Structure 1
């Protein structure tokens, strides 16, 4: 595996970095950033960033030009993700559309669906959310109970979704619903595209443990959509969904790695300013060992990411190895959060403007808990690795 970049790719990297430095909102990622309390205003800021990315030529970098993309390769996409991660650039509000729905439509969508949905997605005109998980179907996604019944030339959807990120900002939702109750439960699922302004949809925000309000419950009460808003064929939604989750698990490792490196650097700075038992935390052999292990894991994540992208470039798709990567980075991030609280010690309970680094380490600990759940829980990833990589029996 060649880990180097060509001179042309390094030139592209410089172009990306210069553009980001010129366009990232002033003060972004710092305590001084004037982040509004109103959720609608936050959504406007993030949507404007999506539009700015498109105007700058950094939306759909590896997507075909006929669908609004830049027609470049996954290597340029990697470079942008790395540079954006280094500068803690905003992710925008349409991250699920770009990361999950777009690649899914490119793989499974009809030509009409690609032409209709991909260009406005990249322009930031239409924001997407993901309607997969349900109150009793999170880890066991095949247990979903949301139903879709064909009535004439329309589908009628009834059910509930939960943990739906950005649903309160979204224009559309890609939804899994049960269309056949006969046979194995994963055989009767269909992947739908649902406009969020359809009559019968109710969105209820959920407040997360860290105080953020990105998640929602979404209720579907006799929601009618057009028959052609099916991706990949009726009752073939499980295959489509597994392709979607593969993109979520495996394609953002390098961007995550540099953001994790930023968090680690902050943890190291804080460690050098706190004292325990007469020495700074960074001088303690115990904490130095812990920090060294964490640093090594972040570097390992980078090589995991390079290997996964190499597979995508060479084979055009991601395999079950994406589960190995997802298990690795989510567990590593939880360990980082735990170490952060351990470093803080008696300062850990205090969060707010007067706390150490304005609660940055507490945010890692609280936020990382979700990473071992979304895109498939740790237990699910272990099952996939055991059965599909190691060949162990079910």
Structure 2
């Protein structure tokens, strides 16, 4: 074992022993999922790297991986996950007020509420600052109008991390604000988008006079671009570390598991076929007599190396950000996100290599229930969601290598003028 690997094992031995002792005392499969998750959160195991005041245990960043591995080995239901834990909670903890932290973070840690991301628009994807969803102040509330697209798990979410434009008379990056939007209101319409897998993980969201309370403006008016980059940093770091885009079992009342017995929920497995783990592939190789195949073993070894480096890269990204080097942290997070795209695609490809031609079939009667065919199709999305691979390479090039920014003639112009110019160009054509 290498020195680095040995140090990694030593750093996680303590948390594992602590988790095992806690589970031996508290795990009760007869509790409801809601009761169990409250107990887990109260003990600080949902996000153990947070301070005790924030709802964690003050452990190192890597502790979360050890905690979840120990829960799995014990047979206990995992702590809640999802986009709220991956992005919303850390963003609010970073830029939110004490009141916003107290209102929004505990329900995320306890799995009581689920979140989705409302960033991309039909005309603002890679150029996210070009968004046109409008937020207008009306007394002690904001009125929201616009459209969002490619929102994962929006139909199961209770809140959305919303970017909206609060000022059209300043440059586009300066007029954006970050809101916590309650999705359970008449002004919000969510429609599924069917993917080539046959599933509808993504959604489009229409906002028609939706209402946000003034105290759910997070990070301050006009500071949304800074808050958005904070969110994206946590997303890319989480993806780079192999974090799922949505927790399973899903958090929140719409996920349908809060009332289940925790023991029953612990035996549930994702049905979408989106997630392929290293353990899945090792088991598959053994089941199909390919565990001793040199070609398969070589690919599994390569995947294992990628996964380990991804974990270390995520720790580095968090350390850079915690040390105040935002540019380095963003670059490392972007590199990790690109690497995770490669991991996602390689995992699905190895599964198909093991199964052979039969693995390309879909449906419950296909090999491995068609899981790897579906994973192969969905893996194409990994190079797009969370920021395309091309955008990640630009970030690394500009912030780490010091290469010049891409030309952006509209960057310093009031955004209203930019939109007016686009409208005139469209009319002329």
- What is the rounded CA distance, in whole Å, between the counterparts of 2:207 and 2:73 in structure 1? 40
Give the aligned partner of residue 122 of structure 1: 109
Q: Contact conserved, 2:285 with 2:354, CA < 8 A, in 1?
A: yes
Q: Which residue in the other structure is 1:373 paired with? A: 384
Structure 2 counterpart of 1:16 = 19
Partner secondary structure for residue 348 of structure 1:
helix
User: Partners of 2:75 and 2:206 in 1: how far apart?
Assistant: 34
Task: Describe the shift of the 1:368–1:261 C-alpha distance in structure 2 as closer, same or farther (beyond 3 A).
Answer: closer
1:116-138 deviation line (CA, Å, top 9, x unaligned)? 22223323333222211222322
Instruction: Name the counterpart of 1:266.
Output: 280
**Could you tell me which of 330, 334, 338 is aligned with 1:323?**
334
RMSD: 3.6
Helix, strand or coil at the partner of 2:116: strand
CA distance in 1, matches of 2:221, 2:11: 44
User: What CA distance in whole angstroms lies between the structure 2 residues aligned with 1:24 and 1:393?
Assistant: 57
| Kept in 2: contact 1:352–1:358 (CA 8 A) | yes
* Structure 1 residue corresponding to 2:303, chosen from 287, 294, 309: 294
Task: Give the aligned partner of residue 303 of structure 1.
Answer: 312
Q: Does 1:349 align with 2:363?
A: no
User: How far apart in 1 are the matches of 2:81 and 2:65?
Assistant: 18
C-alpha displacement at 1:293, in angstroms?
A: 3.0
Counterpart secondary structure, 1:74:
coil
Are residue 79 (structure 1) and residue 66 (structure 2) matched? yes
1:134 is paired with a residue of what secondary structure? coil
3-state SS in 2 of match to 1:319 = helix
Query: CA offsets, 1:317-350, max 9 Å, x none?
Result: 6432110111111122112223333443320232
> Which piece of structure 1 moves more, 59-68 or 367-376?
59-68
Could you list the per-position Cα deviations for residues 275-296 of structure 1 after superposition, in whole angstroms to 9, with x for gaps in the alignment?
A: xxxxx75665555544443333
> Alignment partner for residue 231 of structure 1, among 208, 218, 243?
218
CA distance in 2, matches of 1:261, 1:213: 15
Alignment counterpart, residue 136 of structure 2, candidates 149, 161, 185:
149
- CA distance in structure 2 between the aligned counterparts of 1:68 and 1:20, rounded to whole angstroms: 18
Runs of 5+ in structure 1 lacking a partner? 27-44, 275-279
CA distance in 1, matches of 2:222, 2:232: 17
| In 2: Cα distance, 1:293 partner to 1:218 partner | 39
Summarize deviations over 1:245-291 as a string: whole Å, max 9, x none.
1111114645549xx997334334434555xxxxx756655555444
**CA, structure 1 residues 314+178, in 2 after alignment: closer, same or farther (shift >3 Å)?**
closer
- Per the TM alignment, residue 5 of structure 1 is displaced from its structure 2 partner at its CA by 5.4
Q: 1 CA distance for matches of 2:286 and 2:27?
A: 32
Equivalent-residue separation in structure 1 for 2:397 and 2:40 (angstroms): 40
Distance 1:218 1:300, change over 3 A: same
Alpha-carbon spacing, 1:162–1:182, altered in 2? closer, same or farther (3 Å): same
Distance 2:307 2:228 in 1: 29
Dislocated runs of 4+, deviation >6 Å? 18-22, 45-49, 85-93
Does the aligned pair in 1 maintain the 2:120–2:149 contact within 8 Å? yes
Q: How far apart in 1 are the matches of 2:33 and 2:163? A: 26
Query: CA distance change for structure 1 residues 85 and 390 in 2, over 3 Å: closer, same or farther?
Result: farther
- Aligned match for 2:100, one of 85, 97, 113: 113
Please give the alpha-carbon distance, in whole angstroms, between the structure 2 residues aligned to 1:62 and 1:322.
Answer: 18
Deviation (angstroms), 1:238: 0.7
Deviation, 1:149, is 1.4
Find out whether 1:198 has 2:178 as its counterpart: no
Superposition deviation, residue 91 in structure 1: 6.8
The structure-2 alpha-carbon separation of the partners of 1:88 and 1:384, relative to structure 1 and needing over 3 Å to count, comes to farther
State the alpha-carbon separation in 2 of the partners of residues 133 and 237 from structure 1.
Answer: 14
Q: 1:171, CA displacement in angstroms?
A: 2.2
> Hey, what's the Cα distance between the residues in 2 that align with 1:8 and 1:287?
31
C-alpha distance in 2 between matches for 1:337 and 1:166: 22
- Which position in structure 2 is the counterpart of 1:101? 88
More relative contact order, 1 or 2 (CA 8 Å, 6+ apart): 2
1:334 equivalent in alignment to 2:334 = no
- Give how far 1:240 is off: 0.6
Give the number of aligned pairs. Answer: 370
